[in-house]
Structure 1
Amino acid sequence: MDAGRADAAISFEPHRPRLTRVAYRMLGSVADAEDVVQDAFLRWHTTDRSEIDNAEAFLVRVVTRLCLDVLKSSRRKREIYIGPWLPDPVVDSEADMAEDVTLPLLLALERLSPLERAAFLLHDVFGMEFEEVATAIDREPAACRQLAARARQHVHEARPRFAVDQRRGLEFAEAFFAASQTGDMAMLKSMLAADITVTADGGGKRPAGPVPIVGFDAVMKLMERMARMFASAPSQLVRFATINGLPGFVTLEADGELQTTALDIVDGKIAGIYVVRNPDKLGHLDGMALN
């Protein structure tokens, strides 16, 4: 590595975790977030750093603008995506990216325009002043306040009123996993909310429902079908984990592929089950199956 690149790396690395958090929350993709941060480093390397007073503010601005560019193309990809789309699963060992942003909130962010998402994340999640946000997204501070306010209305309901502590949440995950694998329908009935929704993301690469399954009766029928399948081809537990801020587990399925299941617990019941099966979204977890 040449001296200039080494110097750039030394000054860049302390900012990488924060930049990765910004990029992941903007994009919902681990691979895209890593690509954006690497692109930001390349720009940092070729920038006259002696002219920059605040390195972090400069780099956050670069990452935000790169993310806005990525979102323009990813919107089209989402329109032709096969089945429901879920963000890449981030487990507790990657807590730098998952902290404070749960999966329901990430899904709520998907309903925002790119500029609304940027203004909300930079101000409400990362605590930047609106003057800094304005510089990052090239808008006036007053416009940024309006963008964040509109975004806040959309995501308000996605923030849990009563967060489930990690220990209790993982107990839910353990009980749900055991009941679903053994076909304990009585236990499952006691755990599921009346308005439960199951969303599975296979991306057209692995079998998954084409639309979310909504409602207690429909989900119980699904659980019965899954129990019959697990009787001959059970899932192999890799680990219980916090996934995108929700309790859940990582499994190795009968087809040899990893899968993540995250549980949204509301008022002591499972209100949402989010299953990621698309192998393109699980590549960063491959080492888990070997641990």
Structure 2
Amino acid sequence: MARRQQPTARQMRLGLELRKLREAAGLKAREAAALLGADSVQMSQIESGISGVSEARIRRLAAHYSCANEELVAALVGMATDRTSGWWEEYRGDLPTQFLDLSELEHHARCRRDVDFLHVPGLLQTEEYSRALFSYVNPEFPEDEVERWVEHRMRRKVIIERADPVAYEAVIHEGALRIRVGDRSAARRQLARVLDMSEISHVSVRVIPFDVDGFGGAGSVMVYAGSVVPELDTVVRDGPNGPVFIDAEAQLNRYRTLFRRVEAVSLDPERSRDFIHGLTKEL
């Protein structure tokens, strides 16, 4: 297969998972390469996402690695054979690659969980909230560039609006709901948007009030994207240069635990809606 100049995060994740399986089997790259009639350089390119890999080769490697996790193997085959050219490709060259990788990750996710303490999560934002946020954080952006970012963020909502939506849960701190990114009327419309979305059957919104005792989890801001198998789940954190993708099992387990802890101190969805209604009346 042709070499890729810039593999996506999804393509690199496929290669990484194949390398994990090889290492778990205690094999060297050259040994696995020999099985495919390739050399160690070609194997390195497959495991780094630079080169694609066929279904037959994945299944041959999995059998040789004695991988009994058939669901994982099927998921890896799906990653390798998917030829989706998603809507996010329209923004290639305009937006940093990591943000396109995030859109692709969301597209293939089975569930999505957000935890936020400073801002309303992107999937729940109104256009004017998003526009005010991008304009403030990037004051050097010309207006047309800001609009491109806003448009991209609005289109990401397709995952919870399409015919086969992703199950979505957001845990939002009261502080994020109170901070006025725009003016008072914009804040009111943003809260209304959150309320509207919280009424959808596959969307759950939970609020952590200021008056929760013993809460020290404000550093656990994250996006958790659940895959078809837990081994392929991904956590996304904000980094200085954009989204950072986390996939190590030990770290995934840590963030799963963090999510359960913040969820445990949050109000249930019904009480959260009542709480947001109360905030709306204050505006």
Higher helix share: 1
TM-score under structure 1 length normalisation: 0.25
